[in-house]
Chains A and B, each alone.
Chain A
């Protein structure tokens, strides 16, 4: 039955996934085109200097790309469920309500993970052409909170969209914005290195909060 659930989720999200993946690839392509340009016109020494000693993040263009992914996939997945209260159809499927919800969430989070791994792979691969592995590792450590923010945004949007009451939705939105700012607090390279495990746990905890909205929907809260 999980195949059927995934099939429905795929039908809802596929074009958004394709669009988002293209956007991510284009961003990475543009990023390294610009970097190549800098290497050619200002010289590798200057680029290395700005990255190493001025802590310039040549990859700052990617900062909000994961966040955009989380928002896009969550809206594509959960908005159609709330139009005309179609979530009733989903809850009527012969599965326990939490099981079907978690399968839907697993699909969305899985899509994000695949796209982030692809972006991460492209980024790392291209970066290694220009920088040594230590610098690339630092870049990845810096990018990691942004990727986690993508997941956090996805989980929070699910909570907000499935919530049946507008006042609750508003409150969740405020809480969501507060949570998401945590992931973008510092602009310094590797500033989050020690905080990443905490952010990871926080994001993992957020992954189940949407079940509460769905529970309220099922109880007929308005």
Chain B
């Protein structure tokens, strides 16, 4: 569905990412994770043809995203960060407007979602809360019935109830209809409920692309306490990140417990309370990319 090859982008002199390669397979739900400023929205803009990359290429349905045909665009549902829509329209007008563009338009899907909101048909989108706007935006995408949904930070501005409603609706829809979703959110707990696969980027590079379950089982956190607080922990290639506060250490790695213990022994580091700690996706993300 989506294939990006050697994607590179600079803003002026500043490198956003270099040689980024990833694919999104049909029927999968892929979440793009990265800290602020690592290029998530840049990647989404390139995917929708709103930004010309400095190098590389993205293909959607086999077409270069810089020159998407109207037929390809009709198959892509796009949610702009902040649930932006034509706010000068009311909920009736916006449905009428979009329905003229899509032959497979499913009005019922839109109105089913709108019926859950406490709004009148003539209420303008500009007067709605962020949560209500999110439902309008989602309803329009569901009615469009696209094969691929590209959702840029769908959690932005939503309270927990609306976030849950959005995710549950979306996941049920995607799984029932075999839709493909490529999304991002700054609230990783939300993504964890939604996505099958995760793509983690950091400044300039891709760190991981794998199924969420595989990432969570392969990426490990080991906590221990140093006997000597002044001990320096040398960062070896198998160590992805070390967080140290006084004598308490969190060590993140894709390697097994035996490798970590061998590392401690080889470096004559005396520790106590050594334990592997179970992580949620958010912990694993922070562990991999660091807190700063």
Contacts and interface: CB of A to CB of B under 8 A. Distances in A.
A218 B50 contact: yes
Closest 10 CB pairs of A and B: A4-B100, A220-B51, A94-B74, A94-B70, A219-B52, A84-B84, A94-B73, A92-B78, A95-B70, A94-B101
B80 interface: yes
A85 B71 CA distance: 23
A11 B101 contact: no
A7 B80 contact: no
A93 B101 contact: yes
A74 B214 CA distance: 54
Contact of B97 (A7, A84, A88, A222): A7
13 contacts: A1-B100, A7-B96, A80-B86, A84-B84, A88-B48, A89-B80, A89-B85, A91-B49, A95-B70, A218-B49, A219-B51, A219-B52, A220-B45
B204 interface: no
B100 A7 contact: yes
Contacts of B88: 11-12, 80
A45 interface: no
Interface string A1-32: 10110011001100000000000000000000
B93 interface: yes
A12 B287 CA distance: 48
Interface residues of A, number: 24
Given A85-B84, A92-B76, A8 B70 contact: no
B69 to A, nearest CB: 8
A94 B70 CA distance: 4
Contacts of A86: 84-86
B89 interface: yes
A96 interface: yes
A24 to B, nearest CB: 24
A200 to B, nearest CB: 33
Nearest to B89: A11
Contact of B48 (A80, A92, A217): A92
Contacts of B99: 4
Interface string B69-112: 01101101010101011101100010011111110000000000
Interface residues of B, number: 28
B258 to A, nearest CB: 48
A91 B84 CA distance: 14
A11 B80 contact: no
B211 to A, nearest CB: 29
A4 B52 CA distance: 28
A94 B84 contact: no
A190 to B, nearest CB: 43
Contacts of B100: 1, 3-4, 7
Contacts of B86: 8, 80, 86, 89
A11 B93 contact: yes
Contacts of B51: 219-220
B84 A4 contact: no
A96 B96 contact: no
Interface string A61-94: 0000000000000000000100011101101111
A217 B93 CA distance: 27
Nearest to A220: B51
Contacts of A84: 80, 82, 84
Contacts of B96: 7
Contacts of B93: 7, 11
Contacts of B48: 88, 92
Contacts of B101: 1, 4, 93-95
A220 B50 contact: yes
A56 B85 CA distance: 51
Contacts of A80: 86, 88
B97 A92 contact: no
Given A4-B98, A7-B100, 16 more contacts: A1-B100, A7-B93, A8-B97, A11-B89, A11-B93, A11-B97, A12-B88, A80-B88, A84-B80, A86-B85, A88-B48, A88-B80, A93-B101, A94-B73, A94-B74, A95-B70
Contacts of B45: 220
Contacts of A3: 100
Contacts of B85: 86, 89
Interface string B36-52: 00000000010011111
Contacts of A88: 48, 50, 78, 80, 84
